[in-house]
Amino acid sequence: MGNGIAHVMALAGYEVLLTDISQDALDRGIETITGNMDRQVSRGKVSAEDRDAAMARISTTLTLADLGATDLVIEAATEKEALKAAIFEDLVPHLAPHTILTSNTSSISITRLASRTDRPEKFMGFHFMNPVPVMQLVELIRGIATDKETFQACHEVVEKLGKTAASAEDFPAFIVNRILMPMINEAVYTLYEGVGNVTSIDTSMKLGTNHPMGPLELADFIGLDTCLAIMNVLHDGLADTKYRPCPLLTKYVEAGWLGRKSGRGFYDYRSGEPVPTR
């Protein structure tokens, strides 16, 4: 999601510094941004001049400390709390006093992440939806210590991006995933219990409830490991059995069938045409 966030920030006029753990990852990110902006130009959504200006605003670095001079940091690492906390701990010594820290986490406690930094009052959740250039919503999540000025600054950024902000309280999975992930998990239970197969479940939800994607197709798009991680956050954080991850979801993740990114999940994508695996 980092490349999508960089994409929309640069188009909105912000200077963007993109970092990752390898040059290959950065090169892939720039390649993705370039391809997505070219697609927007071909569809008349962005002018070629605006694309070129936006791309010129994006630079990259492998050195995390280089982010220290920025005004706003948006962390978009994998949905693993220990990893996110480690990134913030490495970054904090290099930050300017005014720098706002945010996380694109889709489920992890903002208050807990903020407590691992030197500025909990300048820390909040900045949760974009995927794919970032297309989706209009951004969840803004305040931790217990987040001050009004930080929230207002982030809200103004969302407005400049031309997106809509939804304010969420700092409870497990916030708003979108608190509702979406149990639905996906229930769809996996429906498959697990043999109520329907992959095709019938996704077709029923697309045609019966007018969803653009079926829940199993959507799970593959999100990543089954991410879905499982969010369900575990809900289950652990709320201690309610209704959030227990479906054993079939766990099995797919253990098999490395993570969805589109691994080539196989509830659908097999290796032939180029999605084929249901059940």
- 139 catalytically annotated: yes
Distance separating alpha carbons of residues 20 and 22, to the nearest angstrom: 6
Distance separating alpha carbons of residues 225 and 255, to the nearest angstrom: 11
For residue 52, the tally of other CB atoms under 10 A from its CB is: 11
Six token digits for residue 191: 């498959």
Question: Is residue 278 within 8 Å of 272, Cβ to Cβ?
Answer: no
The angle, 0 to 180 degrees and rounded to 10, between the axes of the packed helices 215-222 and 224-238 is 100
H-type helices in 193-243, by residue range? 198-208, 215-222, 224-238
Q: Choose, from 127, 185, 217, 262, the residue flagged as catalytic.
A: 127
- 94 catalytically annotated: no
- 15 catalytically annotated: no
The angle, 0 to 180 degrees and rounded to 10, between the axes of the packed helices 2-11 and 48-56 is 120
Q: Choose, from 103, 104, 107, 139, the residue flagged as catalytic.
A: 139
Q: Choose, from 36, 104, 177, 185, the residue flagged as catalytic.
A: 177
Instruction: Tell me how far the alpha carbon of residue 117 is from its chain's centroid.
Output: 21
Distance separating alpha carbons of residues 257 and 265, to the nearest angstrom: 5
- 159 catalytically annotated: no
Query: Which residues does the annotation mark as catalytic?
Result: 106, 127, 139, 177
